[in-house]
Structure 1
């Protein structure tokens, strides 16, 4: 755009309808309009800029150089680099605004710090490289039947999650998968895709937290000037997984809402560690975007609340690691029980990491408590002596739960503190203490 015909209101004001640094001056150089972020590059507030002359600011070394005089003289759009008082470089564009006599009446300028533009350029280059790789792999992806892997789903709560996932897979509805880091959200998203009518289409994962606000639209729609495709085009006819959707800024959420509101050919699977309804109530997530995404919802409990999955994962990881390193290692009974009662805040990823450290680090084929990394070793009062032979899993888990409850009771003064530490409700703590205080610990397992 080389020229504009516009006569804005000449009253001095701070415009709050833009997220860019925009300044409007008269042809004489008086600043009459600014946005709420104007002046950040120069160490001044918007109100301090209003009414000032760009020529005076140039003389003071604040605008170096001022762009208004050059735009007025050349009567066309000018792009130049300014040096700010702090030594940073700013790319500034000035555009003339003409009156009816074709005279320059006003000059509108907008600026970006060069470091921001460099980051944006590098991100776009990386994005195009990533897109080209994804396109090359799409043919292979369409021929694959994606299995649910990376997590174990055998507990009652996991079975319910899978049942919900199968229902969602049969319809073309958006779904939100929520749960802590490492509980298997991405694996469940792949499972939904593999069971859906879009299974032959692309399965594209996007980490929303890594996309700068300035190029959120380009990332999803592509760059028309280079014919590059965005995420929505690549995932057309398939599934688009929006990981860490809760990390998007409100500005990016607004853009994403308008993009998703107009598309019908791609299943959207949103993945979040934070319950979206909570951050909607906090004003940190747009309601309109929430309603588009939240057609169906699946919550994956943490591993510490899925004892059957935890037991299966320990056995499976040990088997896989023995095969990987050609070992024949086993867990001592007390190690096995101790692993069952740990919190595993990192869920499957943390468990697999600890299991691999145990298999590699143990000196003998029997892994003992001493082989555990120091932060995972039990204190003397927490160590459990138990023989597993002939015991059913529910019996073992009940024994472990009782041990955990009684150990926790020794550490904390109130049931409220116990509930917070264990991640359960206070009434649950009261019920469990009542249950387990009625018989000696030794009565549970012979």
Structure 2
């Protein structure tokens, strides 16, 4: 074996490239290199460890026991549990580095608190279960197209998103889908997969924000144990969806960039609630990863800006839930119109939740305002009455818009305040007020 050249330039040198507790000692036990967090377990600063002897620190009860002497004696990797001065248990691993004469020249040791390892173990168990489920589904997914959940895309902005998705699906480029929580980003990713050249491959979803940083790389490469496969291997020839990519730390982003920059057999779709451009400007997202992923971008607007999609979703959820529970529930026209004008900040998930609650809890087949959860019931004077028979959707939506303007005008004095509440520009409020001026004046009298 060739000699390992780890000789330090000075005793004050610190390994800035590591975010782990790593200590390098000479064969005699002198500490010659440490990382930025070394000493935290023992109540010492990294600079206080440099130049010290682990034997002296052991005698002082700081290292109990020191691992270097055992590694030097047995010439192999040693794993043991140390007790810190504060009474915490630390799992420490010592690795020998040999010189040309097969003598131990240096010892590298790294440590973790046992509480951290328990969290990692629980995560690895959950990950192993998830990987097993994915493997069981792979054969089925390769034989037939993946089942796409219902995609509600009726509005003009949604039609543009679908058009872009279809175009990008046929190209071998990574895609970023951005939008608020619950707007249908994952459903759109499944649609892209089904329309792409990767449709015969697997569709793997990864919740990036839930993976501990300490095993982030292993989760993707499969180096958790000898039998495991990582996400990249499982998604090879298919689609890998990186959910909550905006929640990754800078360190995890660096690892992800290195891994993705090397692979060419998987379609990558990144999903983010925050616009990645803004995060780059704020210094919270790496530019190299942004440019690697941001070849094609699709932004999904919130549901409150997609009234046609709200109408479609209400009808679909009501029909689906009636079939599920073997009911024949219907909404009164007033309730239907009222639901169309709500903000739905939780988007599709919130809307589906409310529809399911009122279907289950309502006592009669006709759902009225009294069946709505209290926070969703209209205030006095805000109820909208309209007969839907024979009315087209544009007419209904125009009626709702006019009614919403009236209710807002009653509450707020200025068009600026109205614009802020409605989430539109002040000139748009002025233009809409002018459009409905006659009817609004009559109803305000």
TM-score normalised by length of structure 2:
0.90
Distance 1:139 1:105 in 2: 51
Distance 1:210 1:337, change over 3 A: same
8 A contact 2:4–2:99 mirrored in 1:
no
- Following TM superposition, by how much is the alpha carbon of 1:441 offset from its aligned partner in structure 2, in angstroms? 6.5
Query: Is 220-229 or 298-307 further displaced after alignment?
Result: 220-229
- Following TM superposition, by how much is the alpha carbon of 1:4 offset from its aligned partner in structure 2, in angstroms? 5.0
Distance 2:284 2:210 in 1: 18
In the other structure, the counterpart of 1:188 is 188
Distance 1:27 1:413, change over 3 A: farther
Distance 2:290 2:41 in 1: 35
Give secondary structure in 2 for the equivalent of 1:226. coil
1:271-350 residue pairs with structure 2 within 5 A? 271-350=271-350
8 A contact 2:335–2:368 mirrored in 1:
yes
1:320-373 Cα offsets, whole Å, 9 max, x none, are: 222222222211121111101111111111111111111111111211111100
1:133-154 Cα offsets, whole Å, 9 max, x none, are: 2222112112333454334111
Give secondary structure in 2 for the equivalent of 1:149. coil
In the other structure, the counterpart of 1:204 is 204
Distance 1:19 1:44 in 2: 17
8 A contact 2:25–2:107 mirrored in 1:
yes
8 A contact 1:5–1:98 mirrored in 2:
no
Query: Is 45-54 or 149-158 further displaced after alignment?
Result: 45-54
- Following TM superposition, by how much is the alpha carbon of 1:389 offset from its aligned partner in structure 2, in angstroms? 2.7
In the other structure, the counterpart of 2:64 is 64
- Following TM superposition, by how much is the alpha carbon of 1:102 offset from its aligned partner in structure 2, in angstroms? 7.6
8 A contact 2:8–2:33 mirrored in 1:
no
8 A contact 2:406–2:440 mirrored in 1:
no
1:99-157 Cα offsets, whole Å, 9 max, x none, are: 78887665432212222233333433433332232222112112333454334111111
8 A contact 1:7–1:97 mirrored in 2:
no
- Following TM superposition, by how much is the alpha carbon of 1:76 offset from its aligned partner in structure 2, in angstroms? 5.1
Give secondary structure in 1 for the equivalent of 2:304. helix
1:290-439 residue pairs with structure 2 within 5 A? 290-412=290-412, 414-439=414-439
Distance 1:36 1:412, change over 3 A: farther
In the other structure, the counterpart of 2:16 is 16
Distance 1:17 1:59 in 2: 31
Distance 1:96 1:197, change over 3 A: closer
Q: Do residues 49 (structure 1) and 34 (structure 2) align? A: no
In the other structure, the counterpart of 2:144 is 144
Q: Do residues 174 (structure 1) and 186 (structure 2) align? A: no
Distance 1:206 1:69 in 2: 43
1:287-310 Cα offsets, whole Å, 9 max, x none, are: 111112111111111111111110
Number of aligned residue pairs: give it: 443
8 A contact 1:6–1:98 mirrored in 2:
no
1:371-430 Cα offsets, whole Å, 9 max, x none, are: 100111111132222222333222221221222233334444554444343332343334
- Following TM superposition, by how much is the alpha carbon of 1:41 offset from its aligned partner in structure 2, in angstroms? 1.7
8 A contact 1:154–1:308 mirrored in 2:
yes
In the other structure, the counterpart of 1:219 is 219
1:245-279 Cα offsets, whole Å, 9 max, x none, are: 11121111111111111111111111111111111
1:114-153 residue pairs with structure 2 within 5 A? 114-146=114-146, 148-153=148-153
Root-mean-square deviation (CA, aligned residues, Å) is 2.7
Q: Where in structure 1 are there 5+ consecutive unaligned residues? A: none
Distance 1:57 1:250 in 2: 35
- Following TM superposition, by how much is the alpha carbon of 1:199 offset from its aligned partner in structure 2, in angstroms? 1.3
Query: Is 231-240 or 136-145 further displaced after alignment?
Result: 136-145
Distance 1:70 1:232, change over 3 A: closer
- Following TM superposition, by how much is the alpha carbon of 1:81 offset from its aligned partner in structure 2, in angstroms? 1.0
Distance 1:332 1:230 in 2: 51
Distance 1:442 1:144, change over 3 A: farther
Distance 1:96 1:168, change over 3 A: closer
8 A contact 2:11–2:50 mirrored in 1:
no
Distance 2:442 2:368 in 1: 23
TM-score normalised by length of structure 1:
0.90
8 A contact 1:71–1:95 mirrored in 2:
yes
1:209-249 Cα offsets, whole Å, 9 max, x none, are: 12122222222221385243211111111111111111121
8 A contact 1:332–1:368 mirrored in 2:
yes
Q: Where in structure 2 are there 5+ consecutive unaligned residues? A: none
